[in-house]
A and B are shown apart, each in its own frame.
Chain A
Amino acid sequence: MFDPLLHQSIRSKLISFLIANEELPFRALKEMLDVTDGNLSSHLTKLEKGGYVKIEKSFEGKRPKTTIHITDEGVGAFKKYIDELRVFVQEN
């Protein structure tokens, strides 16, 4: 019924953080969500496959750096998901 990519506690919070901040470094997201590297990577991969986030990998000197951006599709899906949740709560 709800978008399976968003109707999951970690992923819905992850997208919310990106909505509030537009883009975030991997490390910041990891700290804010209090999850492991592997856990976060797995959720991000799902969201990236769905087209909701864009993962940008770059190098700062010799250090790898990962930045996560929310896409327009992700913003739209998030808004639709919130509306669906609200309607569901009101009707039940």
Chain B
Amino acid sequence: MSEKDEALQHLEGIKSVLDDKKFFPYNYNALISWGVISIILSLFLPFLLKSSLVYGSFFLILLVGAGFFVEGFLIKKENISYDIDDCTRRQKFIFRIYLVTSLFGIAMSILLAKHQLLIPVFMLWIFICGLGNVVVGHTINKRLFLTAGYFSISLAILLIFISVFISDLGSVASWFFRASQLATIISIGVVPIYLASVIKKEEAKSV
């Protein structure tokens, strides 16, 4: 191998590391649990919020809290396998972003439900999860997260645009409610579960 080829090989090796290998220990079962929680919330939360704002809010806080508990537990377990007693800076950054956006989402959901605007609750969570995925995608350099994030954000904006022409945004029996519910189940429930299974398969292959 010539000296130039060797130099090029070194540059390529360094570039691939700097581009792709940002260290981010994560147990993708946590993402699956978020997907399941999202599906449950999408199916039942609007009806609960409609019947009782207090019970609906409690249900929302309980499930989001359960999601964070599972996430924290699995990350801790994953970190121990790398001798990390606390969290990496990247993990802390992503955790804070998710915590803040989730609190915002919970507060906004309660406010929207109070004013009988149940359908926008779907748009809100699709947008928040999309934004979260974009942040994660950029931070750990995972293209799949970026694609899923931009897909969710676009979907949320599309639903907001359509809702301009819908008169009743509080009805749980309208076609638009069902369409928004389905969009939510797909974008923040099914897509994350699919993403996690794809990444888990990729990781299993690379071991």
Contacts and interface: CB of A to CB of B under 8 A. Distances in A.
Contacts of A21: 22-23, 88, 90
Interface in B78-109: 81-85, 88-90
Contacts of A92: 3-4, 7
Interface in A36-63: 60, 63
Interface of A: 2, 7, 9, 12-13, 16-17, 19-22, 24-28, 31-32, 60, 63, 65-67, 82, 85-86, 88-89, 92
14 contacts: A7-B10, A9-B9, A20-B17, A20-B18, A20-B23, A21-B88, A32-B23, A60-B83, A67-B83, A82-B14, A85-B7, A89-B11, A92-B4, A92-B7
A86 B4 CA distance: 10
Interface residues of B, number: 23
B21 A27 contact: no
Contact of A25 (B11, B13, B18, B82): B82
Contact of A82 (B11, B81, B90): B11
Contacts of A19: 18
Main SS class of interface, B: helix
Main SS class of interface, A: helix
Given A28-B84, A60-B83, A63-B83, 9 more contacts: A2-B7, A12-B13, A13-B14, A16-B21, A21-B23, A24-B23, A25-B83, A67-B83, A88-B7
A16 B8 CA distance: 15
B3 A65 contact: no
Contacts of B4: 88-89, 92
B137 interface: no
B25 interface: yes
B83 A65 contact: yes
Given A20-B22, A88-B4, A92-B4, A25 B84 contact: yes
Nearest to A14: B17
Contact of B17 (A7, A16, A31, A66): A16
